[in-house]
Chains A and B, each alone.
Chain A
Amino acid sequence: MSQERIKVLLAKKKIDVHGRGTKLIARELRDAGMEVVYFRFGVVEEIAEAALQEDVDVVAVSIMTSGQMQVARELIPALKERGMTDVLVIMGGIIPEVDFEPLRELGVHRCFPPGLPGGVVADYIRENVGTATLA
């Protein structure tokens, strides 16, 4: 893993508004040397399909206008169905801190509050990519 560029699928729902945070994190992860595929999805299934096709190491979902629990409930099984059990799944944006633990229980490896330096997210990805599982 350390030899290759880490590839991140950064997913945001098509109808989700205010993309400032998403675009910033895309740029900051690129600054950290990662390859970022910015992807707008309609239904959650499309995230898993894109992750498979793009053969990414990380699936990152950006949330502005809610829906994080529904996304997680469908995303994790959809990734597993496609055999993507070694992908690192993270979420960020306007997500209440009290949802972080329930999201972890659903299989999301880590959630990030808004406004953090992208470097914090990049460090987490580098430390955990390739070691996480969706078992």
Chain B
Amino acid sequence: MKFELSDKFEAAKETWAARRARYADRLRPAKTLSGLPVKTVYTPEDLADSDLEEMPGAYPFTRGLHPDGYALTPWMQQMVFGYGTIEETRQKMEKMVAEGMEGYFGHKVFNTVYDIPCMYGIDADHPEAKGNLGQCGVHMSTGDDYDELIRGWDLETTNFSMITGDNCLPALALLAAAVERRGEPLHKLHGNSMNWYPRIAVQDIPSWEPKWGYALMIDLIKWAKDNAPAWNPANIFMYGLSEAGATPVQELAYGLSWGKSIIDAGLEAGLAPDDFIGRLSFQIGCTVNLFEEVAKFRAHRRMWAKICKEAGVTKPSNMHARVHVHTSGYVLTQQQLMNNNARITLQALAAVLGGVQSIHTCSYDEAVGVPTEESHRTALRTQQILMLESGVRDVADPLGGSYYVEKLTDEMEAAAWEIYEELEASGGYRRGIETGEIKRNIDNASYEMKKRINSGDLPVVGVNRYVSEQTENYEPFRIDEAIEDKARARLEAYRAKRDQAAVDEALEGVREACQALKDGTGPLMPALVEAARKGVTNGEMMVPMREAFGWYVSE
């Protein structure tokens, strides 16, 4: 930005300096959560090196993906939900639609989370599923479950986001088979596969051996490209990084490196840049540090666009960093629960000012357990109040041009590139999974932050400030343990009506296809879809997959 120091500005600065001279040296230097120094005042001088000649909707998209921000259609309200069997979750879907939860142009959006047994890939009758069935997500493992999931929804105007774990491929196969049973073509299918294998770098959960994890991801991406082109086949789970303890700058650096690792794997597998990169999307965390988060979202769009361009993407819309925000759960406190509503409002505001495409607002009681009907509705209403009452959606990139936010955007970008480039030079994200470097750095950041909270250096109201001895005795939402019997009964009934010989044959087909994928001679997804057609369940598909692709817990 060109800026000539005028006499008028020089005079103003002198007055400013004189007025603060008495106390200026007593001011405690502030920092962002990422550790970047913050001044008390920013001026045009700070933007001397900034490129401000940008419009929203144009490369590199710092100011947003769309020319008029949210004016044409607001962000998608994608509340995470799912509990019990599909019967309970189906009722919840209908309730959320009735509450006004919607996506672009009034489309339906269902951000459905599986229970952890499904994510891990075990059915309801597995001994390790006990205690977790239908608890923090829906238990969906059979063809019947998926028929019920999509029953009656118009596929052209309904978006199914499937929050899966290692069962990502089986889940999409089961969904595809359900669409076929309805007699509809797969190209009508809209939604997302998470394809979160790279989260193994930070989350200590069992998953595929590193060398096969990416092969499975790419297998899904290729299948979706050829069969369900409107499907978003991979999501970059930056939320997993920040919830594990990454600072906002680390979240940017490692998240973009994660994205780059998918680009690299796709190109290595022979895909063309414009064939798949534009279908990648992001889920990002958001703390209550308003300006740092806004700057993070702005820097993120710009950095991703640059990475895409460098990778050979030519179509501008394929350079879009499409972002779903999940407000950080880590910042919520079990102490003085209602305070969390203030935090969630700030988080959602930061996401909106940051220009993201979709938001899940946590409920205030998620520090205790699964949200109640009321707390979940309040979280949705928080978005709707922002959308309809606050006026924040009227102007694209409303903080664009702010001396502070522009400067912080540049500084976060520079700090993130530094980490990103260092990681790329040493083999990138895939190598980072194997060396444990990413996890070590994030664990250390988490530990440093906890020490600051313990010492009171980082204030958390209700935890290290204004602490109350009074217990809250809050009664959270309860999912009756009887749901476990129900889930097992549904599974048994489903298995009883299958043609067992066809199931066995299809599973053999999956086993062979797993080997073919390992040998580089064929895909796996078609065999999984065929297995789904024959009635093979989520957990059953995972057995040969685990045998083939190993099982690895990184600690």
Instruction: State which size class the interface on B falls in.
Output: 35 or more
CB–CB B130/A70 < 8 A? yes
Whether B515 is near chain A, meaning CB under 8 Å from some CB there, is: no
A67-88 contacts to B (CB < 8 Å): 67, 69-71
Q: Which of A1-9, A51-59, A93-101, A125-133 contacts B (4 or more CB under 8 A)?
A: A93-101
Partner pick for B481 among A13, A40, A70, A98, CB 8 A cutoff: A70
Distance in angstroms between the alpha carbons of A118 and B555 in the assembled complex: 20
CB–CB A20/B206 < 8 A? no
CB–CB B206/A14 < 8 A? yes
A14-45 contacts to B (CB < 8 Å): 14-20, 23-24, 27-28, 38, 40, 42-43
Whether B424 is near chain A, meaning CB under 8 Å from some CB there, is: no
Whether B492 is near chain A, meaning CB under 8 Å from some CB there, is: no
Partner pick for A15 among B119, B334, B463, B555, CB 8 A cutoff: B119
Number of A-B residue pairs having CB atoms within 8 Å of each other in the complex: 113
Distance in angstroms between the alpha carbons of A12 and B476 in the assembled complex: 22
CB–CB B116/A15 < 8 A? yes
Q: Which of B95-103, B367-375, B414-422, B427-435 contacts A (4 or more CB under 8 A)?
A: B367-375
Q: Which of B274-282, B402-410, B446-454, B536-544 contacts A (4 or more CB under 8 A)?
A: B446-454
Enumerate chain A residues within 8 angstroms of B453, measured Cβ to Cβ.
Answer: 115, 117
Whether B335 is near chain A, meaning CB under 8 Å from some CB there, is: yes
Distance in angstroms between the alpha carbons of A59 and B204 in the assembled complex: 20
**Which chain A residue lies CB-closest to B368?**
A96
Enumerate chain B residues within 8 angstroms of A16, measured Cβ to Cβ.
Answer: 116, 132
Enumerate chain A residues within 8 angstroms of B446, measured Cβ to Cβ.
Answer: 20, 23-24
Enumerate chain B residues within 8 angstroms of A69, measured Cβ to Cβ.
Answer: 131, 481
Enumerate chain B residues within 8 angstroms of A102, measured Cβ to Cβ.
Answer: none
Whether B330 is near chain A, meaning CB under 8 Å from some CB there, is: yes
Distance in angstroms between the alpha carbons of A27 and B443 in the assembled complex: 10
Decide: A18 near B243, CB < 8 A? Known: A97-B471, A119-B454: yes
Distance in angstroms between the alpha carbons of A118 and B243 in the assembled complex: 19
Enumerate chain B residues within 8 angstroms of A67, measured Cβ to Cβ.
Answer: 130-132, 135
Decide: A94 near B367, CB < 8 A? Known: A14-B206, A15-B205, A40-B204: yes
Enumerate chain B residues within 8 angstroms of A42, measured Cβ to Cβ.
Answer: 127-128
CB–CB A66/B245 < 8 A? no
CB–CB B131/A70 < 8 A? yes
CB–CB A43/B128 < 8 A? yes
CB–CB B369/A94 < 8 A? yes
- Nearest CB of chain B from residue A56's CB, rounded to whole Å: 18
Whether B472 is near chain A, meaning CB under 8 Å from some CB there, is: yes
CB–CB B369/A66 < 8 A? yes
Partner pick for B120 among A15, A24, A119, CB 8 A cutoff: A15
Enumerate chain B residues within 8 angstroms of A27, measured Cβ to Cβ.
Answer: 447
Whether B175 is near chain A, meaning CB under 8 Å from some CB there, is: no
Enumerate chain B residues within 8 angstroms of A12, measured Cβ to Cβ.
Answer: 204
Enumerate chain B residues within 8 angstroms of A66, measured Cβ to Cβ.
Answer: 131-132, 135-136, 369-370, 479
Distance in angstroms between the alpha carbons of A66 and B101 in the assembled complex: 27
Interface 0/1 of B121-155, CB less than 8 Å to A: 01000011011100110000000000000000000
Distance in angstroms between the alpha carbons of A43 and B335 in the assembled complex: 31
Enumerate chain A residues within 8 angstroms of B474, measured Cβ to Cβ.
Answer: 96-98
Distance in angstroms between the alpha carbons of A93 and B460 in the assembled complex: 18
- Nearest CB of chain B from residue A116's CB, rounded to whole Å: 8
CB–CB A97/B334 < 8 A? yes
CB–CB B369/A15 < 8 A? no
CB–CB A115/B205 < 8 A? no
CB–CB A97/B131 < 8 A? no
Q: From B136, B206, B244, B329, name the one whose CB has the most chain A CB atoms within 10 angstroms.
A: B136
**Which chain A residue lies CB-closest to B477?**
A96
Given contacts A12-B204, A19-B244, A115-B453, 8 further A-B contacts (CB under 8 A): A15-B116, A15-B132, A15-B206, A20-B244, A27-B447, A28-B450, A69-B131, A96-B368
User: Which 10 residue pairs across A and B have the least CB separation, nearest first?
Assistant: A67-B131, A70-B131, A66-B135, A117-B454, A15-B120, A65-B136, A113-B334, A42-B128, A19-B204, A15-B116
**17 examples of A-B residue contacts, CB within 8 angstroms:** A13-B128, A15-B122, A15-B206, A16-B132, A17-B165, A18-B243, A19-B205, A20-B245, A65-B115, A65-B116, A65-B135, A66-B135, A66-B369, A67-B132, A96-B369, A115-B453, A117-B454
